[in-house]
Chain A
Amino acid sequence: MGNITEYILERLIKKGAEADIYEARWYGLRAIAKIRKAKEFRNPELDYEIRRKRTLREAKLIALAKSFGIPTPLIYFVDPNTAEIVMQFIEGIRLRELSLKEKEKALPYYQFVGKNIALLHKNRIIHGDLTTSNFIISQGKPFLIDFGLAFLSDEEEDKAVDLHLIKQILLSQHYDIYEEAFNLLLEGYRSILGEIGSLIRKIKEIERRGRYARVV
C-alpha cells in the first residue's frame, strides 16, 4: 500500500472516530497518515461522498487556519479519492489526557485554546468538532487537528454551535474542571473578539432547543 504513493505506512497508532491513524514516513520525515476507511453502516454512495468531501475540506482548512497563525500540522499530501491525508506528526499530549491526568497543567492552555477558536471564527472558519482530543499540546502550544467537519461561515449560529461542542465535552468528560476551563476559554476568546454577550445567549438558545423536545 505504502509504495503507490510517496509515503510509507509504519504502524497503526489510533482508531479515531472517523479515520485510521498511521505513523508514516514522508521523504524521511516523521508523519501521520489519516485514512478515512469505508464505513459498513453507511450506504456506499453516501459513505464515499462523505469521506471524499471531508478529506478535501480537512486539507484545505488546516492549511487556511495555519495561514492565520493558528498552530496546525503541515499538510504533506492529499488524495480525496482514496480519502487519505499525510501530515506533520505533532509530538505531544492531547488536551484530553492532560485535562484528565494533570488538571493544573492543563488549565492554562484553555485560554490559548479560546484564543485560537476566536482566531478561526474571526477568519470565518468553523471547526465543527471542537473537543479536547482534537488539541495536541506541543512546544507549549495547543495544535488544532481534525478539520474534517470544518467549513466557512459568518453566521453567529455556527460559531455558537462550535463553542457549544467544546462546552458539552467539558461538562461531560471534564466536569471537574468545567467551570474554570470554560471561563478561561471564553477569556481567551474575548481577548480576540471583544464583547460576546449575544454569542453567549445564542449558545444558551441552542442548548434549549434539543433537550426539551417532546412528542407532539
Chain B
Amino acid sequence: MLEEVKCLGIESTAHTFSSSIVRLKSLKEGEILSNVRSIYTPPKGSGIHPTEASRHHTKVAPAIMHSSLKEAKLTMKDIDVIAYSAGPGLGPCLRVGATIARALASYYNKPIVPTNHAIGHIELGCFLTGLLDPLVLLISGGHTLITAYAGKRWRIFGETLDLTIGQILDQFGRELGYSSPAGSIIEELASNSKNYILMPYTVKGNDVSFSGLLTYAKKLLAKGYKVEDICYSLQETAFAMLCETFERAIAFCEKREAMVVGGVAANKRLSSMVNSLADRYKINLKVVPMEYSGDCGAQIAVVGALAFKAGYSVGVEKSLVRRSWRIDDVEIFWRD
C-alpha cells in the first residue's frame, strides 16, 4: 500500500463544479495542492435548474480540471486515484462529475472512488481543523444534521424534519428576488437590523423543523414588514434552533470535540453563536475555515485518498451516481 496517496477529487452535486488535488498520508498528515471551482448562478429570483447547472459544469470542466493540475504542478500520470461526488445531489449535475472521472480513469488507467458528498464535508473538516473525533453540525443546502462517528459509520444524532437551513435561506432569498444560493445576501441584510420579531421556533429533541418558520417569514414580507428586520429575525431564530439542538447533542453524547461544517458555516453570526456554546461545555469547538465551507473538490479528494489508502476503489463499471445517499449508509473503511 502506498504511504502517501495523491488523489484528484471532482465535485459536482449542485451549484458548484470543482476539482482538487490532495496529497495525503492520513487525516493528520497531508496537503491540499489545489482546489479550483466555478459556481453556477441561476437567473435572478430563481432556484437551481438541474439541466442548466449541468450545462454550466460541462462548459467549465476542461478549464477547471486543467488548472487544478497546473496549480498542483502535477500531470495525470502522477495521480494515484480519482474520486468524484457520487451523491447525494442533482442527477444531471452528478453525471457530469462521474462521466469525467470515468473518462479520465479509463484513459489513464486509474482506480476510482465514488464519494459521498456529505462525508466529504465532514472528513475535510476533520483534516483542516485537526479534530479527529468530533460531534459534527453539518449545515448546507443539501443537509442539516448532527452526526458523530462510531462503529464504522457516521451516525445521525439529530436532523431536520423537513427543510434544510440552506433551503429556507435560499427560498426566502428568492422571495426577495435574489437567485440562490442567497445565504450571504440574507446575512448582509440581517446585519443592518437589530429589530427582533418573534417567530415560530420548533425544536423536537435533537431535531429541528423549519417549514413553519419559512411560511411565517414569507407572511411578514407580504404584510410589508421591513426586509432587514425579517432577515435578521429569520436568521436569529433558525440559528438559535440549530445551536440549541447542537447543544442538546453535545450534552448527550459527551464528546470533547465539536465541529461545524457545510456552506452555512461561513455565516459569521452563526459561527459566533456556536462558539458561545463551547465555553459552557469546555469542549474544543472549531468551525471549518470559510474557504472550505462551501462545496469543493477538496472534500471529495480527501475522502478519495482516505478510502484508497484503506484499500477501497472500484473499476469504471461500478462508478455510478446515487441521487439519494444517506451518510449512515456509507461504510467508513478508514476509521477504527
Report A's interface with B, CB cutoff 8 A: 15-18, 39-43, 45-47, 49-50, 96, 128-131, 133, 149, 161, 164-165, 168-169, 171-173, 175-176, 206, 209-216
Known contacts A131-B205, A161-B204, A165-B206; A210 and B237 CB within 8 A of each other: no
Looking at the assembled complex, report how far the CB atom of A205 sits from the nearest CB atom of chain B, in whole angstroms: 11
B141 contacts A by Cβ under 8 Å: yes
A46 contacts B240, CB within 8 Å? yes
Looking at the assembled complex, report how far the CB atom of B254 sits from the nearest CB atom of chain A, in whole angstroms: 9
Report B's interface with A, CB cutoff 8 A: 14-15, 47-48, 88-90, 141-145, 147-148, 150-151, 153, 155-164, 166-167, 170, 180-181, 196, 198, 201, 203-207, 236-237, 239-240, 243-244, 247-248, 250-253, 273-274, 276-277, 280-281, 323-324, 326, 328
A15 contacts B251, CB within 8 Å? yes
Known contacts A41-B273, A211-B326; A169 and B280 CB within 8 A of each other: no
Within 8 Å by CB of B205, from A50, A128, A209, A213, lies A128
**Known contacts A17-B247, A45-B196, A175-B153; 6 further A-B pairs (Cβ under 8 A):** A43-B240, A169-B157, A172-B148, A173-B155, A211-B145, A212-B324
B180 contacts A175, CB within 8 Å? no
In the complex, which residues of chain A have a beta carbon less than 8 angstroms from the beta carbon of B47? Answer: 215-216
Looking at the assembled complex, report how far the CB atom of B325 sits from the nearest CB atom of chain A, in whole angstroms: 9
A130 to B324: give the CA distance in the assembly, Å.
28
Closest B residue to A168 using CB positions? B156
Looking at the assembled complex, report how far the CB atom of A137 sits from the nearest CB atom of chain B, in whole angstroms: 17
A80 to B147: give the CA distance in the assembly, Å.
33
A57 to B273: give the CA distance in the assembly, Å.
26
B142 contacts A175, CB within 8 Å? no
Known contacts A213-B164, A214-B90, A215-B166; A17 and B251 CB within 8 A of each other: yes
A108 to B156: give the CA distance in the assembly, Å.
25
A176 contacts B151, CB within 8 Å? yes
In the complex, which residues of chain B have a beta carbon less than 8 angstroms from the beta carbon of A39? Answer: 240, 243-244
Of the listed residues B206, B323, B328, the one surrounded by the most CB atoms of chain A closer than 10 A to its CB is B206
In the complex, which residues of chain B have a beta carbon less than 8 angstroms from the beta carbon of A161? Answer: 161, 204, 207
B167 contacts A210, CB within 8 Å? no
3 smallest CB-CB distances across A and B, nearest first, come from A17-B248, A41-B273, A172-B155
Known contacts A40-B276, A210-B159; A149 and B203 CB within 8 A of each other: yes
Closest B residue to A126 using CB positions? B204
A41 contacts B166, CB within 8 Å? no
A149 to B244: give the CA distance in the assembly, Å.
12
In the complex, which residues of chain A have a beta carbon less than 8 angstroms from the beta carbon of B151? Answer: 175-176
Within 8 Å by CB of A46, from B161, B170, B236, B328, lies B236
B160 contacts A210, CB within 8 Å? yes
A110 to B216: give the CA distance in the assembly, Å.
39
In the complex, which residues of chain B have a beta carbon less than 8 angstroms from the beta carbon of A47? Answer: 240
Closest A residue to B326 using CB positions? A211
A216 to B89: give the CA distance in the assembly, Å.
10
Of the listed residues B204, B237, B251, B276, the one surrounded by the most CB atoms of chain A closer than 10 A to its CB is B204
In the complex, which residues of chain B have a beta carbon less than 8 angstroms from the beta carbon of A45? Answer: 196, 198
In the complex, which residues of chain A have a beta carbon less than 8 angstroms from the beta carbon of B167? Answer: 213, 215
Of the listed residues A17, A129, A173, the one surrounded by the most CB atoms of chain B closer than 10 A to its CB is A17
B155 contacts A171, CB within 8 Å? yes
Looking at the assembled complex, report how far the CB atom of A94 sits from the nearest CB atom of chain B, in whole angstroms: 10
Known contacts A15-B281, A41-B243; A216 and B48 CB within 8 A of each other: yes
Looking at the assembled complex, report how far the CB atom of B311 sits from the nearest CB atom of chain A, in whole angstroms: 24
A172 to B206: give the CA distance in the assembly, Å.
12
A46 contacts B251, CB within 8 Å? no
Known contacts A41-B240, A50-B201, A175-B150; A17 and B252 CB within 8 A of each other: yes
A46 contacts B205, CB within 8 Å? no
A168 to B240: give the CA distance in the assembly, Å.
22
B204 contacts A214, CB within 8 Å? no
A169 to B204: give the CA distance in the assembly, Å.
13
In the complex, which residues of chain B have a beta carbon less than 8 angstroms from the beta carbon of A171? Answer: 155-156, 328
- List 28 contacting pairs A-B, 8 Å CB cutoff, sorted by A: A17-B251, A39-B243, A40-B276, A41-B239, A42-B240, A42-B244, A43-B236, A46-B237, A47-B240, A96-B252, A130-B205, A133-B251, A149-B203, A165-B205, A168-B205, A168-B207, A169-B157, A169-B252, A171-B328, A172-B147, A172-B155, A173-B253, A212-B324, A212-B326, A214-B90, A215-B142, A215-B166, A215-B180
Looking at the assembled complex, report how far the CB atom of B39 sits from the nearest CB atom of chain A, in whole angstroms: 12
Looking at the assembled complex, report how far the CB atom of A164 sits from the nearest CB atom of chain B, in whole angstroms: 8
A41 contacts B150, CB within 8 Å? no
Within 8 Å by CB of B163, from A130, A164, A213, lies A213
A158 to B87: give the CA distance in the assembly, Å.
31
Looking at the assembled complex, report how far the CB atom of A181 sits from the nearest CB atom of chain B, in whole angstroms: 15
A150 to B280: give the CA distance in the assembly, Å.
25
A129 to B252: give the CA distance in the assembly, Å.
12
In the complex, which residues of chain B have a beta carbon less than 8 angstroms from the beta carbon of A213? Answer: 142-144, 160, 162-164, 167
In the complex, which residues of chain B have a beta carbon less than 8 angstroms from the beta carbon of A46? Answer: 196, 198, 201, 236-237, 240
A43 to B328: give the CA distance in the assembly, Å.
34
A215 contacts B15, CB within 8 Å? yes
